[in-house]
Structure 1
Amino acid sequence: MPIKIPKLLPAREILEAENIFVMDEDRANRQDIRPLNILILNLMPEKERTEAQLLRLLGNTPLQVNVTFLKTATHISKNTSPMHLEQFYTTFSDIKHKKFDGMIITGAPVELLPFEEVDYWEELKEIMSWSVDHVTSTLHICWGAQAALYYHFGISKFELPRKCYGIFKHRVLDRTEKLLRGFDDEYVAPHSRYTDVSIEAIMNSDNIKLLSASDEAGPFIMSANNGKQIMITGHLEYDAETLSEEYRRDIRKGLNIHVPENYFPNDDPSLPPVNRWRSHAHLLFSNWLNYYVYQETPYEWN
């Protein structure tokens, strides 16, 4: 089934070129079906790229999905045009009276700041508090995962001595968990962050299940016991070239950054990288939409 997106959203052309089934509002409204309503709080700087990455994964299931993009009202994006934000995004005050089947909170390039010093932290806290009663399940990515662990469960982040940057091997810790259904016992996934959370704190929590971890990259996939909050510290949604573009951007800025680990063939940045995590990205989003959103959401919200 398709994902419903606005006719003029730039990601539409990208997805159609990849043969992802998308439809606009006119066609979707003619279908007698109860779609899933997914809210995406996009905190990434290059919002159009993140839109395409997430929509690609949300659009590859048998479920019809309606997507609403949410922006912060207390922070103005410098890397996305005001026209794009005005046309395709809404703010929390406009949707807080609604209920959503699922929600995604993305990462953000603010991880080295204490949470309380992020200029939209109070707004984000209000949104995360609201999500408990207004969203069936929320998927938090990278810094969004660290924010959720801190806000909902009191688990802080800490700065790493060296950026966790590259493609790392992970192992499945609980094969009975529906979120990981179909996963290989070992698989790889991208990471790109300067901070981490304590694996001991996660394992000692009575409210969180650690589902997958890496010897090199630490805790990766976590779930609240009731499945309402899913936390992923890496970026399974990344395209093959995303880390390469981040690396070259940091080089241009003059940053002292190492080559992403296990990413370029032979660790040679002149060679094109290969996507080795795509299948598990699709599995994760499909399992989340099916088992944590569709199967748990009432047909009619009360």
Structure 2
Amino acid sequence: MPVKVPSRLPASRILRGENIFVMSDERAAQQHIRPLKLLILNLMPNKIETETQLLRLLGNTPLQVDVELLRIHNRPSKHTPCDHMDDFYRSFDEVKHNNYDGLIITGAPLGELEFEQVDYWQEIQSIIDWSQTHATSVLFLCWAAHAAFYHLYGIKRQLRDTKISGVFRHQRVHQHVPLLRGFDDEFWVPHSRFAQVPLDWLNAHPELNVLAQSNDAGAYLVVSNNNRNLFVTGHPEYTRTTLLDEYRRDLASGQEPLIPANYFPGDDPTGQPFARWHAHGALLLTNWLNYYVYQQTPFDLSDMSGLMPIE
């Protein structure tokens, strides 16, 4: 939560120079408090596992968040009980007339398909378009980030010969941005994908800013100029064993997957995996919710035109 201080206090200027969020008396007087409305479009096969991972991170913030779950279609899920889907998930027709403070679109196991080959590609495009006028901020994870790069900006990903799998060291490109408040100069993030958007393509686009990147995994955090869209190409929500489960699944299916990099001690897959990204993942979601949603969203969600500036 922000520190509220008089705008003329010298500490206010000093803290802002250190990328610490302080709020003036004037702005605090204009704020109204209510729970945030957050919508999650869950595209992963195991819905319960993914929703638990995301809710674990969202629960780390002191903000009150009301969460709704969205499904992409009404076909039965192979990995999630029908009762669970019927009880907790809503269709797009049920929510498309609502406004939300934030929207999260998860990754999907579609890394080797062209976007136009995806059964629900038209639905994804419609939801992305809808999000630009019905959500204060949208967080796109992994496959969804690549899909949004393509749909919103015409940037097409490149498929790789080998899967990027492991936990990789990242660096901040920009320090004084709200999303990176509290971040170390270097931090670790899991990645698991077959595609890559070249870093120079993103840097060359006038509407996008790369905030963090990896020498091995490329761009990681990218934000649009209007701060409405946040693209996260990795998986800060992963638990300690998620990459292990994926590795064992690929082995069982007859594939010959590479051992996830920087994950097992001594690269021995029989050992206990290292988990060194949980603190970063929690901070990322907390910063997004606070600075890009809570501090920007209108009190009256029926009016999405009066968004507060991000400081």
- TM-score normalised by structure 1 residue count: 0.88
For structure 1, which runs of at least 5 residues remain unmatched after alignment?
Answer: 2-31
- Measure the CA separation in 2 of the matches of 1:35 and 1:225: 26
Task: Tell me the residue number matched to 1:191.
Answer: 191
Distance in 1 between residues matched to 2:97 and 2:227, nearest whole Å: 23
Distance 1:135 1:175 in 2: 26
1:36 equivalenced with 2:10 (yes/no): no
C-alpha deviation, 1:271, in angstroms:
0.8
The equivalent residue for 2:52 is: 52
Q: 1:225 to 1:105 in 2, by over 3 A?
A: same
Once the 2 structures are TM-superposed, how far is the Cα of residue 219 of structure 1 from its aligned partner? 0.7
How many positions carry a matched residue from both structures?
272
More deviation, 67-76/57-66:
67-76
Q: Distance in 2 between matches of 1:75 and 1:260?
A: 33
1:160: how far off? 1.0
**How many Å separate the matches in 2 of 1:34 and 1:212?**
32
Letter in 1 for 2:259: V
Task: Tell me how large the CA RMSD over aligned residues is.
Answer: 1.3
Q: Deviation of residue 222 (structure 1)?
A: 0.3
Deviation, 1:275, is 1.0
In structure 2, the partner of 1:237 is 237
For residue 83 of structure 2, what is the aligned residue in structure 1?
A: 83
| Whole-angstrom distance in 2 between the partners of 1:33 and 1:287 | 18
| CA–CA separation in structure 1 for the residues paired with 2:33 and 2:183 | 30
Bigger radius of gyration: 2
Structure-1 residue corresponding to 2:97:
97
Q: Deviations over 1:218-245 (max 9, x none)?
A: 1111000111110011001100110001
Amino acid paired to 1:124? I
Query: Could you tell me which residue of structure 2 aligns to residue 22 of structure 1?
Result: none
Task: Determine the structure 1 residue equivalent to 2:216.
Answer: 216
Moved over 6 A (4+): none
TM-score, reference length from structure 2 = 0.86
Please give the secondary structure, in 1, of the residue aligned with 2:79: coil
C-alpha spacing 1:75/1:168, structure 2 compared with 1 (3 Å): farther
Q: Which amino acid aligns with 2:267?
A: D
Question: Percent identity at matched positions?
Answer: 48
Distance 1:63 1:258 in 2: 40
Q: Are 2:153 and 1:149 aligned?
A: no
- For 1:60-75, list aligned pairs within 5 A: 60-73=60-73
Shift of 1:76: 4.2
Cα distance in structure 2, aligned partners of 1:111 and 1:38? 26
Query: d(CA) in 2 for partners of 1:192 and 1:186?
Result: 20
Q: Offset at 1:274?
A: 2.1
Counterpart residue type for residue 166 of structure 2: G
Q: Is the 8 A contact 1:74 1:123 kept in 2?
A: no
Question: What is the CA distance between 1:77 and its match in structure 2?
Answer: 2.5
Aligned residue type for 2:151: Y
Partner-residue secondary structure (3-state), 2:49: helix
Write the letter of the residue equivalent to 1:40: I
CA distance in 2, matches of 1:49, 1:93: 25
CA deviations on 1:174-212 (whole Å, 9 max, x unpaired) are 001111111111111000001110111100000000001
| Superposed displacement of residue 161, structure 1 | 2.0
* Separation in 2, partners of 1:189, 1:38: 24
After superposition, the Cα gap between the structure-2 partners of 1:66 and 1:244, relative to the gap in structure 1 and judged at 3 Å, is same
The one-letter code of the counterpart of 1:91 is S
- 2:119 is aligned to 119
Q: 1:118 to 1:74 in 2, by over 3 A?
A: farther
Q: How many angstroms does 1:62 deviate by?
A: 1.4
Cα distance change, pair 251–237 in 1 and its aligned pair in 2 (3 A): same
Kindly report which structure 2 residues correspond to 1:122-271, keeping only aligned pairs within 5 A, or say none: 122-271=122-271
Q: C-alpha separation between the residues in 2 aligned to 1:66 and 1:104?
A: 13
**Which secondary structure state, in structure 2, belongs to the residue aligned with residue 97 of structure 1?**
coil
1:108-163 CA deviation, whole Å, 9 max, x = no partner?
00121111110011001000000000000000000010011111111101111211
Cα distance, 1:74 vs. partner? Answer: 6.3
